[in-house]
Amino acid sequence: MSTADAPEPTATILPGAPLRLLAIIAPYYKDVVTGMLDGARGLLAGQPGAAMDVVEVAGAFELPAAFRMALRAGSAYDGVLMLGCVVKGETDHYDFICQAVCDGAMSVAADTGAALGFGLLTVASIDQAEARSAPDRHNKGAEAMAALLGQVGLRRRWDLS
């Protein structure tokens, strides 16, 4: 499937209490991450009574630690949305950061069973990032929210709250 054929991110309305979500964002590329957050909020708007708190961290590397801190604090969120962007530069820094963030987020989610919507753009250029944060069906924030809502739905189905 080409990107031109990408499906529109969708989510069914989840039964039960209104959703309470946490978005942890790394706004180093502010316009890009704001666009992704807007896409996520647009999809969340279809969930009656849903609320989402937003916290910022310094950069993408800090995303998994903030996720773990939120869980250890005993926060009563149904799930966590993680958004950030890493643009490839001239050094190996990009590879190390991308791998660490992906591994860290997966580790926390797998170890705790927390519902996670993971939206880390790992791109070669800012143009690619802007294309993936635009207000259209290619918005990766909306896709991460769709994944998060699916995970929350599974947790509720299996009564893992």
Q: Distances in Å between the alpha carbon of 138 and those of 18, 28, 99?
A: 27, 21, 23
What is the arithmetic mean of pLDDT over 16-43?
Answer: 97
Q: Count other Cβ atoms within 10 Å, centred on residue 136.
A: 12
Given a cut of 60, whether residue 2 has pLDDT beyond it is no
Calculate helix-pair angle for 30-44, 140-157, nearest 10 degrees: 40
**For residue 144, what pLDDT is reported?**
98
Torsion of CA 51, 47, 6, 114, to 10 degrees: 60
What is the arithmetic mean of pLDDT over 6-33?
Answer: 91
Domain 18-157 has CATH 3.40.50.960: yes
**For residue 1, what pLDDT is reported?**
45
Share of the chain above pLDDT 90, in %: 83
Q: How far apart are CA 135 and CA 30, in angstroms?
A: 15
**For residue 55, what pLDDT is reported?**
98
pTM of the predicted model as reported, rounded to 2 decimal places: 0.93
Task: Specify whether 138 is catalytic.
Answer: no
Catalytic residue chosen out of the listed positions 17, 18, 31, 93? 93
Domain residue ranges of the chain, discontinuous segments joined by +: 18-157
Q: Do 81 and 151 contact (CB within 8 A), yes or no?
A: no
Computed over its alpha carbons, how large is the radius of gyration of the chain? Answer: 15
**For residue 69, what pLDDT is reported?**
97
pLDDT of 83-132, one tens digit each?
A: 999 999 988 899 999 999 999 999 999 999 999 999 999 999 999 999 99
